Structure 1
Amino acid sequence: MDGWQRCFLFSILWLIFTPMDATFGSHKVTAAANNEPARGRKLATDNPGSISIDCGVNDDYVDDNVGLLYKSDRDFISTGENHDAELGSTQFEAFTERLCKNLRSFPTGRKNCYTLRPKQGKNHNYFIKTLFCYGNYDGKNQPPKFDLYIGVNYWITVEGLASFLWRTHELFHFSSTDTIHLCLVNTNVGVPFISALELHPVNDSIYRSEFGSLMVARRSQLSYPTDLNFRYKDDVFQRIWRTYGLANTTWVNATSDIQVQEIDDSYKLPIEVLKTAAQPQKGLHSLRYNISFICSPSCDFYVYFHFAEIVEIPQDQRREFTITLNMSQINILKKQLSNEKDLGAAKKILGIEITRKKSIRKLFLSKQAYIEKVLKRFNMNNAKPVVVPFAAHFKLFANMSLKTYEEMEHMSSVPY
């Protein structure tokens, strides 16, 4: 096809859904050892109003890997106990090591809540992220199971933890109050705990749902074939990106630097994520992204795709492709329909006659058969037709409407 180039070039796929469900394998950040006072240092990432808490530490510090000021949680909660994780017990990502060294547990009280007061206040959208590193801190090798709440609203059950793994749960939450309470609720299956908690203001025009908060189900950077987790310093929302390798694809790297102004939109994607992409190994073949969740039939999913043109193409060409959902089900339906006999253009549907006049490019719908049926029912099929069923000078008024049961009973046998 002259002047066209058709291929799939996926840069990023971000999948989120409304019912609050868990996100797996996304997590936090490592901090380089640095004893320099946090207050006097410039942060690399600028997102005013962010709150980043390393639960269970005594002092604030700056994490140079992501440019965040992590605060002790002592000013956000008054209950619970600080603990150190068992050394060498957790398989850390480079950016989770420091956050997983400490935690705060809550052996007393059914419900223990962190109190967050972001500068933006109420009627604003926030990205809330929690991190859990059990690390066998209690020496029992029995990870707990407990619930998370935002205020009085249930968020998710934290479960499936292990001594050597870490897990995060993420939520886009629109707050109608100035204060946000994140609560850990004891369900009598071990002692609730938390390793880190973050809140980042988000532009109100993105990640909004008319049904409530949005729980992150999967966020993928289509690049390296192995599952790796990355957190980028220029990501103002401090998202964690998991690489995902699509089958039968080749990997493409940016041929030149991507200018910041080209991607400076509300989603503020980190440049490193946009520098890699996937494309089919052969010509016009498709890219397939398969994913499934254990979810009730009522679950609603929101899918966000992000694209960047990172491979130069001739000026007389352009890139074009389509995105389809659940193609296997579509193909099954098409196959079923292909076995049916083609009856040609429809002539009648639900008693309505269809007439086509191709010469004037118009289509007419007629309910003549239904009208004749009604007239026959009221013995008026032989009546003389007129333009209107009463004289043109006759006027109708609201006070002429039926008022008594007897009037209604009488008029039920009158056709008009």
Structure 2
Amino acid sequence: MSLFPSLTLTLTLPLFLCILFITTTSTTLPPPSPSFPYGLSYHIDCGSSTNTTDPFNTTWLSDRYFSGGATGIVSEPLHFRHAHEKTLRFFPISSGKKNCYSIPSLPPSRYLVRTFVVYDNYDGKSHPPSFDVSVAGTVVFSWRSPWPQSLSRDGAYADLFASILSSEALICFYSFATDPPVISSIELFAADPASYDSATIGDNGTVLVNYGRLSCGSDQWGPGFSNDHDLFGRSWQSDSEFRTGQTKIVAVSTRNGISGTEQKPNYFPEKLYQTALTTEATAEEGGGVLEYKLSVDAKLDYLVWLHFAEIEGRVRRAGERVFDVFINDENLTRVDIYKQVGSFSAFTWHRTVKNLSSSLLSVKLVGVVGAPLICGIENYALVPSDPSTVPQQVVAMEALKDSLRVPERMGWNGDPCAPTNWDAWEGVTCRMSMDNTALVISQIDLGSQGLKGFISDQISLLSDLNQGCQTQESM
């Protein structure tokens, strides 16, 4: 079952929404599951105490790597199909305003990070919480109460590609007012650092947030939803809810192999190109128009990636199927799939779309000769990364946290200073470094906290302090 409502997220995000909760617990570090070619994937069932295996043979790890919080169970477990859909972790204000999952021992790479969030009145208060979610120090989702009823009850999947260059993946949650953030599952898949034209669209810090990943002419499929594989963990949603216009459409499919798939750096799966959508009427017959509309946040730029393969045997030479691609009514390119790659071979085209003036992004294929055809559409918001704290200063603050036995209520979790639109750790003041490349600690004031302990000698790493730690007299 999949949904696709609009969430009021940091990015006003229409997400791939699906029902998938998870069960997890255990503190030992199991070997990550293989994810060719980059070697690892994690599936953490937040709130569960045991490892489980779902119907698609995915192993879900028990809940681990969290900074605090407590576990809960959805109010209507029978509403959810799988055992791993019924649990969650929540972070009450007693755990501090900021809590994190920190997945360790990761090689530097690009990763697909997928979360599942559900409320389902687990606490009996009928008040879905307001909170932010960040990945690697960049705010990516903002949940605001009240949630749409279907979203509150059924939950939502959201995913993104982010570069994680440290040895751990930080997924953090920030409470607004006294609302406890909730999380039901976290998944992480290694991906090729060069995927999605990373060298061209921006630096390694740019986060690609999924605003629509559609498989045309098919049902939803991919990891978590079917036995079909995708090496990067991408799930592909049916395009049916996003088609507009009055043109009669035809879904076509093939069992033939498709060349040019499963290749570096994007490893697009063969299955994506074995189904397609076209129109019943050709351009010559007065038809030949396919149109899709996707909800977006107009403040952001988007990477639109289109997928094609000539899988209809009636097209046997160049010039027999030609169509124009329009995005937001701008004619951007003319496509002749057979001329580009022949038949039963994958062809992709992508464009970065900027300066949007509407909350809807339209993709339209207009036939020039014959009927247009498309296999898939991807649309990613390009979110610039926030600066992070100088790594040595993070080490120093972690040492100070341990030596002073800083209580959970103070929320000293994740990056001390980032994201910059959240409060820094309680009692900590931050600023940009002199070269504007990172955040540094400029002041620490813990004198009123009643802490007992000692000051770690690693405090010497905090070379940008304007005012020293105010706790000596109480130590």
Q: Distance in 2 between matches of 1:56 and 1:30?
A: 10
Which whole-Å deviations, capped at 9, do the CAs of 1:321-370 have from their partners, x for residues lacking one?
2212222799xxxxxxxxxxxxxxxxxxxxxxxxxxxxxxxxxxxxxxxx
The 1:135–1:229 alpha-carbon spacing in structure 2 relative to 1, beyond 3 Å, is: farther
Task: Quote the residue 2:163 is aligned against.
Answer: 174
Q: Does 2:210 align with 1:216?
A: yes
Q: Does 2:65 align with 1:70?
A: no
Q: Distance in 1 between matches of 2:141 and 2:238?
A: 25
Superposed counterparts of 1:62-211, under 5 Å: 62-65=53-56, 67-74=57-64, 76-88=65-77, 90=79, 92=80, 97-107=82-92, 108=94, 109-121=96-108, 124-159=109-144, 160=147, 162=149, 163-188=152-177, 190-207=179-196, 208=198, 209-210=201-202
Q: 2:40 aligns with which of 37, 49, 62?
A: 49
Q: Distance in 1 between matches of 2:40 and 2:119?
A: 29
Deviation at 1:151, TM superposition (A): 4.1
Query: Which residue identity lines up with residue 326 of structure 2 in the other structure?
Result: T
Superposed counterparts of 1:273-288, under 5 Å: 273-284=272-283, 285-288=288-291
Q: Distance in 1 between matches of 2:33 and 2:44?
A: 18
The 1:28–1:199 alpha-carbon spacing in structure 2 relative to 1, beyond 3 Å, is: farther
Deviation at 1:290, TM superposition (A): 2.3
Q: CA RMSD in A?
A: 3.2
Contact 1:31–1:64 under 8 Å retained in 2:
no
Contact 1:29–1:98 under 8 Å retained in 2:
no
Query: Which residue identity lines up with residue 119 of structure 1 in the other structure?
Result: L
Q: Distance in 2 between matches of 1:45 and 1:175?
A: 18
Deviation at 1:50, TM superposition (A): 1.1
Q: Distance in 2 between matches of 1:117 and 1:60?
A: 18
User: Larger relative contact order (C-alpha < 8 A, sep ≥ 6)?
Assistant: 1
Query: Which residue identity lines up with residue 73 of structure 1 in the other structure?
Result: D
Task: Quote the residue 1:302 is aligned against.
Answer: 303
The 1:158–1:118 alpha-carbon spacing in structure 2 relative to 1, beyond 3 Å, is: farther
Identity of aligned residues (%): 23
Q: TM-score, normalised by structure 1?
A: 0.62
Deviation at 1:217, TM superposition (A): 0.8
Q: Distance in 2 between matches of 1:40 and 1:293?
A: 38
Deviation at 1:44, TM superposition (A): 9.3
The 1:98–1:305 alpha-carbon spacing in structure 2 relative to 1, beyond 3 Å, is: farther
Contact 1:258–1:310 under 8 Å retained in 2:
no
Aligned residue pairs total: 294
Deviation at 1:256, TM superposition (A): 3.1
Contact 2:44–2:61 under 8 Å retained in 1:
yes
Deviation at 1:201, TM superposition (A): 0.8
Deviation at 1:45, TM superposition (A): 7.7
Q: Distance in 2 between matches of 1:77 and 1:151?
A: 15
Contact 1:55–1:72 under 8 Å retained in 2:
yes
Q: Distance in 1 between matches of 2:131 and 2:78?
A: 21
Deviation at 1:176, TM superposition (A): 2.6
